[in-house]
Amino acid sequence: MSAKSKFAVASLALTLTSGLHAAEEFDAASYHEAQCTRCHDTSVYTRSDRHITSFPALEAQVARCDANLATKLFPEDLSQLVQHLNSNYYKFSP
């Protein structure tokens, strides 16, 4: 297979994968309820001694949770989840 053909196949695969993901709407609130609360309830976000004290720390923690659970969320889904948590619990300025 020529380099041009390999590139075309790879481009098509990426397009199809992106299209499949785009067709599936990510619902951060539902995901949070189904996945995040398996390990903890929402009180961890609002307790006085919470560990997450900035928007970057929130982003890092969500990425760690994704890695620990091996859920392999798409970057845009991670971002939506961070936004959901921030707007509903943390209220940081991004």
Q: What is the pLDDT of residues 62-75, one digit of tens each?
A: 999 999 989 999 99
Residue 2 has pLDDT above 80, yes or no: no
CB-based contact 46:89 (threshold 8 Å): yes
Residue 45 has pLDDT above 60, yes or no: yes
- Shortest CA distance to 29 belongs to which of 75, 72, 81? 81
CB-based contact 71:36 (threshold 8 Å): no
CB-based contact 74:21 (threshold 8 Å): yes
